[in-house]
Amino acid sequence: MRRFSRSGSVHDSKTSASHQSAPPTSYTPPLSHAPMVNGSTGGGSQHDSRPASSTKTSSSFDFANRPPVNYPMTALPNSAVGNLSRTDQIVLRHFWDVKYDENKSRDLHFLKFPFFPQSPSHQDLVPYCEIYHLVKTSPGAKIISLGSANGVYIGFELFSGSQLHIDMDDSWQNISHHRVTFKQYDKMLKDPASDATFKSWPKPLTIEFLEEQYQRWMLELTSLCWDTAEVRELGGAGGVDAGEGSIDGDLKDEML
């Protein structure tokens, strides 16, 4: 059984003393401070100064004289980002790129309704309630967010095999369908809300803190990290093609 242990030159003071090539007060290059075995001295070559093993094995590691390696670095913006230090920017960029990759294959949507009156009538609530029920009970669909942003919305995710189909009544006015994607890092920096958001965060930034923020953003599909685009097949004239941004299972503008 192999063990990692200090070299015998550390434990045997008599042996190390006999091989010491310079007084304690003299300066020797850093490599000569490696443990000496098999009678090697500090005055030898760089190869002789490496820790050696009396028996060479396939599990030996040689870290000496490694050539320099240039790793690609992501260029940071020259201008200040909020009140984030360069280290904070590196942490944020790393976190953001990971979440972007995690979310780019998700199929996210929300349907936005006009704000309810202060005392909504039954007719005001019917579209919201019926569409909520359709999404809630449709195979392959999951409601993930309910909120308000210039209106009231129902946010949901669609999965493979979704059978969601919503027929819109002509009396349901100003209901829009929006496709949701995770915002790219550079676009997020240009968001007018980003600067104030960064300044409100505790510093230095940590992955743990950003993960907490992300869990909140997941429940609010209009928050900083999400990009939305309206899909025109809802609320438009009949016969308009839904196109690439349509919800699986077709969202059509038809009579119930």
Query: Looking at this protein, which amino acid is placed at residue 9?
Result: S
Lowest mean pLDDT among 56-65, 103-112, 169-178: 56-65
pLDDT at residue 160 tops 80:
yes
CB 253 within 8 A of CB 240: yes
More confident residue, 152 or 149: 152
Rounded CA-CA distance 110/178 in Å is 5
pLDDT at residue 247 tops 50:
no
Q: Tell me the per-residue pLDDT of 206-228, one tens digit each, with 9 for 90 and over.
A: 999 999 999 999 989 989 999 99
pLDDT at residue 250 tops 60:
no
In angstroms, how far is CA 250 from the centroid of its own chain? Answer: 31
Q: Tell me the per-residue pLDDT of 74-123, one tens digit each, with 9 for 90 and over.
A: 554 545 676 899 999 999 999 999 999 999 999 999 999 988 888 888 88
pLDDT bracket for residue 251 (50, 70, 90): very low
DSSP H or E run through 110? strand 107-113
HSE of 63, CA atoms in CB hemisphere, 13 A: 3
Structure tokens, 239:
């016969």
pLDDT at residue 246 tops 90:
no
Query: In the block, which residue shows the tokens 């919800």?
Result: 247
Neighbours of 165 (CB within 10 A): 14
Burial of 75 (0-12, 13-18, 19+ CB in 10 A): exposed
Contacts 24+ apart (CB under 8 A), 199-205: 199/82, 199/83, 203/83, 203/84, 203/85, 203/88, 204/85, 204/87, 204/88, 204/91, 205/84, 205/87, 205/88, 205/91, 205/92
- Boundaries of every domain in the chain: 7-60, 86-252
User: What is the rounded average pLDDT for all residues in the chain?
Assistant: 74
Q: What integer is the mean pLDDT of 121-142?
A: 91
